[in-house]
Structure 1
């Protein structure tokens, strides 16, 4: 059985930009939550250092981006709908 995404109406360039901005906000939020949860931290017995900390943040951000693209926690959609309503007011 194959799951298909619901068909969305054609989006305007403005709506695409709003959706992308909303997804980026959700990505940043999720990255911070992953950081708070300790995702990407290396145990002290292995390596460490400033370079490793920097690359861990890249990993968390990319993990958060993938989570957002797969539906995330619904934050991007809520932000998008709110921005879209303001646009049409």
Structure 2
């Protein structure tokens, strides 16, 4: 697994740093949402046994998948957050 290296802000003024940090958070949230959907497609959190619950179990399983996805992103994820972040920053620099 790759180690996550924090991105250093490119600009030094406080407003630019705040924008870049919010772009980083948005990129990580987007990657976590994507990973949660992939975990759902893979069947993570589903049970089919005597301990299975009702329809509410599916909703609680989604919380578990999202928490797992967020931890995956904190540990480096699959690189999507970095690509999203670079795209957001590049788009902002063009304007």
TM-score class, shorter-chain normalisation, is: 0.7 to 0.9
Aligned residues: 86
Say whether residues 1:9 and 2:8 are aligned partners.
yes
Return structure 1 stretches of 4+ with deviation > 6 angstroms.
none
TM-fit CA distance, 1:73 = 0.3
Consecutive unaligned residues in structure 2, runs of 5 or more: 11-16
Q: Identify the residue that residue 58 of structure 1 maps to in structure 2.
A: 63
Q: Deviations over 1:62-88 (max 9, x none)?
A: 000110111100000000001000111
TM-fit CA distance, 1:39 = 0.4
What's the TM-score, normalizing by structure 1?
0.86
Consecutive unaligned residues in structure 1, runs of 5 or more: none
Say whether residues 1:88 and 2:93 are aligned partners.
yes
Name the Cα RMSD after superposition: 1.8
